[in-house]
């Protein structure tokens, strides 16, 4: 099979014309997110160009230090993205999220690389893109899980206060909210697994096929990464919520999640 | 020997009086004592002693800290300064969850799960890892609180006042040592509120339960209170 066809810069730039269609739809529907669209497109371009140069350098000079540093950067960036969307979290909860992301992704990544793909742990060609997919999914799962957790607690504030007043352990009060949030966080990943191959050809598989990999090999990678991503989402959300909920009450079992300060 | 008989009679008389005195002490035992209490750094309270089995009503202008005082008593709010004692023990040294079971607060807004009345009793008790009362007990308490609704009836269809009465029955069923009621009759008319309070407080008196009630209804306060404590809310 042939590798992916080279795209010349001029032809590549043509893809940006599609943004005009999005702008037209936004204008027609009075969606005032033009600035966000432009900023997002620009940021994506700049970030990916930088990533492309850095990855090219790392692939040409494979060093465990470079791979580790890149993964560490991804941990910090993913954590930052989650925290910036969940400003209500207290400082201990924030640390829990950082730890959960790292402790969920790193062991699964190591298992994937050493046992499934049978590659060196620090091989940047495998370790970096695979961990990127895992962090991306974990980040989405955490955002969704934490959003659901907060919103459900806010909407059931009276229930929480009443149970607290009636002498119920905080753990017992919060556990149903945690379980519901975990379910919600897992739902998109599980849903995409259901539709995969029929509704969509996922990004990783598409990329591999474009670069010349046999579809039969590409599906093996895709199945493996989907299961790994689902595991990572469940572990990171589980870890963050099951460890983080303890930071929402003090030693006098008084709960406070609304006035938490960073 | 007669001297010995007189000595025995005297000893028995002394023991009888000691027991009587002791019983008298128990009846006047201080259940809750509040000392030099300050909440939110600005609301200061007078020193208060509430005896076991006493029915106390709190009154005072809005914002004077009545509800906050109840929250401080059941440990859901930590004082800035001062102490609250339950049976002579500083509540800080009591496990907070156990404290809230002994000093139970039924808040201003009743909460009921979206299930039947029986389901609500089951869920609340299940949350406390306890067995729900029997149907007979539930019915007795609901009747007492003027909420004689079918146990299988849904709580969603109840009116505000009906929910409040079911909620009060729930709180009573947990048999706390001290029951804190924050405007328990806010969604009831005066006559119904009078009946509910009368039944509820009679039930509490019979069981030696201490009750602290916040009520804005002066007539109800005067009628039902053993004592009214007025809070000024001034520093």
Quick: pLDDT tens for A244-256.
999 999 999 999 8
Per-residue pLDDT band for B28 (boundaries 50, 70, 90) equals low
For residue B75, the distance in angstroms to the closest alpha carbon of chain A comes to 7
Q: What is the CA radius of gyration of chain A?
A: 21
Per-residue pLDDT band for A195 (boundaries 50, 70, 90) equals confident
Cβ of B75 and A252 within 8 Å? yes
With b for 16 or more beta-carbon neighbours within 10 A and e for fewer, the A88-104 pattern comes to bbbeebbebbbbbbbeb
- State the Cα angle at B206 between B200 and B210, rounded to 5°: 70
**Confidence (pLDDT) at A210:** 86
Model confidence at A166: pLDDT above 80: yes
**Confidence (pLDDT) at B93:** 96
For residue B103, the distance in angstroms to the closest alpha carbon of chain A comes to 9
Model confidence at B19: pLDDT above 60: no
Model confidence at B25: pLDDT above 50: no
For residue B156, the distance in angstroms to the closest alpha carbon of chain A comes to 15
Give the pair of three-digit tokens for residue B126: 């299940």
Model confidence at A200: pLDDT above 80: no
Return the percentage of chain A with pLDDT > 70, whole number. Answer: 96
Query: What is the ipTM metric for this complex?
Result: 0.87
For residue A176, the distance in angstroms to the closest alpha carbon of chain B comes to 11
**Confidence (pLDDT) at A5:** 78
**Confidence (pLDDT) at B234:** 56
3-state secondary structure of A62: coil
B183 closest CA partner among B30, B44, B60: B60
Per-residue pLDDT band for B45 (boundaries 50, 70, 90) equals very high
- Asked if B211 and B199 count as a contact pair (C-beta separation under 8 A), the reply is no
Cβ of B174 and A166 within 8 Å? yes
Give the pair of three-digit tokens for residue A83: 């925290």
Best mutation site among A155, A162, A250, A251 for testing chain B: the one with the most B CBs within 10 Å? Answer: A162
B230 closest CA partner among B210, B216, B219, B211: B216
| Partner residue opposite B128 with nearest CB, options A158, A162, A167 | A167
Kindly list the residues of chain A whose beta carbon comes within 8 Å of any beta carbon in chain B.
158-159, 161-169, 172-173, 252-254
CB contacts < 8 A, A to B, total 59
Model confidence at A182: pLDDT above 70: yes
Best mutation site among B72, B79, B90, B105 for testing chain A: the one with the most A CBs within 10 Å? Answer: B105
Cβ of B76 and A254 within 8 Å? yes
**Confidence (pLDDT) at B26:** 43
Query: How far, in Å, are A7, A13, A242 from residue A19 at the CA level?
Result: 19, 11, 41
Domains in chain B, CATH or no CATH each: 2-230 (3.40.50.300)
**Euclidean distance between CA atoms A72 and A239, whole angstroms:** 19
Cβ of B77 and A164 within 8 Å? no
Q: Helices marked H in chain B — which ranges?
A: 2-27, 66-73, 96-102, 117-127, 135-144, 160-173, 190-206, 218-224
- Asked if A96 and A236 count as a contact pair (C-beta separation under 8 A), the reply is no
**Confidence (pLDDT) at B14:** 43
**Confidence (pLDDT) at B233:** 63
Q: What is the CA radius of gyration of chain B?
A: 21
Model confidence at B6: pLDDT above 90: no
For residue B83, the distance in angstroms to the closest alpha carbon of chain A comes to 15
**Confidence (pLDDT) at B12:** 42
CA distance between the termini of chain B: 69
A-chain residue closest to B180, CA distance: A165
- In DSSP terms, B179 is beta-bridged to B104, B211
- Crossing angle of helices A124-155 and A157-165, in 10° steps, is 70
pTM flag (> 0.95): no
**Confidence (pLDDT) at B136:** 97
Best mutation site among B124, B127, B176, B178 for testing chain A: the one with the most A CBs within 10 Å? Answer: B127
**Confidence (pLDDT) at A194:** 84
């Amino acid at each position: 099979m042939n590798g992916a066809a080279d795209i010349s810069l001029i032809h590549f730039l043509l893809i940006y014309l599609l943004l005009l269609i999005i702008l037209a739809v936004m204008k027609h529907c009075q969606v005032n997110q033009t600035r966000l669209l432009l900023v997002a497109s620009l940021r994506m371009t700049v970030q990916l160009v930088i990533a492309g140069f850095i990855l090219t350098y790392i692939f040409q000079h494979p060093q465990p230090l470079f791979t580790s540093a890149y993964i560490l950067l991804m941990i910090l960036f993913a954590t930052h993205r989650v925290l910036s969307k969940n400003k209500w979290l207290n400082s201990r909860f924030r640390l829990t999220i950082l730890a959960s992301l790292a402790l969920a992704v790193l062991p699964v990544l190591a298992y994937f690389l050493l046992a499934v793909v049978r590659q060196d742990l620090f091989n940047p060609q495998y370790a970096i893109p695979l961990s990127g997919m895992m962090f991306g999914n974990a980040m989405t799962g955490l955002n969704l899980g934490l959003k659901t957790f907060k919103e459900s607690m806010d909407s059931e504030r009276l229930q929480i206060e009443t149970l607290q007043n009636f002498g119920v352990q905080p753990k017992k009060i919060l556990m149903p909210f945690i379980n519901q949030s975990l379910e919600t966080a897992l739902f998109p990943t599980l849903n995409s697994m259901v539709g995969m191959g029929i509704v969509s050809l996922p990004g990783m598989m598409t990329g591999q096929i474009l670069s010349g990999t046999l579809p039969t090999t590409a599906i093996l990678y895709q199945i493996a990464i989907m299961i790994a991503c689902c595991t990572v989402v469940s572990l990171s959300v589980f870890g963050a919520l099951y460890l983080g909920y303890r930071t929402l009450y003090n030693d006098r079992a008084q709960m406070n999640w609304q006035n938490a300060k960073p | 020997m007669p001297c010995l008989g007189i000595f025995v009679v005297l000893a028995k008389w002394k023991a009888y009086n000691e027991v009587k005195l002791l019983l008298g002490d128990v009846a006047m035992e201080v259940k809750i004592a509040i000392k030099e209490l300050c909440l939110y750094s600005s609301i200061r309270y007078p020193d208060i002693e509430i005896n076991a089995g006493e029915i106390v009503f709190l009154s005072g202008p809005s914002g004077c800290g009545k509800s906050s005082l109840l929250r401080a008593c059941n440990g859901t709010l930590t004082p800035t300064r001062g102490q609250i004692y339950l049976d002579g023990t500083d509540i800080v040294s009591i496990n907070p969850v156990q404290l809230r079971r002994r000093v139970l607060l039924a808040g201003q807004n009743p909460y009921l799960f979206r299930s039947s009345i029986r389901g609500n009793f089951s869920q609340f008790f299940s949350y406390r890892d306890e067995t729900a009362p029997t149907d007979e007990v539930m019915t007795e308490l609901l009747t007492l609180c003027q909420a004689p609704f079918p146990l299988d009836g849904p709580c969603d269809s109840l009116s505000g006042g009906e929910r409040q009465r079911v909620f009060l029955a729930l709180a009573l069923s947990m048999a706390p040592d001290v029951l804190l009621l924050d405007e328990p009759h806010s969604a009831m008319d005066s006559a119904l509120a009078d009946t509910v309070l009368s039944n509820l407080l009679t039930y509490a008196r019979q069981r030696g339960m201490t009750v602290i009630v916040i009520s804005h209804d002066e007539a109800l306060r005067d009628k039902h209170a053993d004592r009214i404590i007025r809070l000024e809310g001034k520093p």
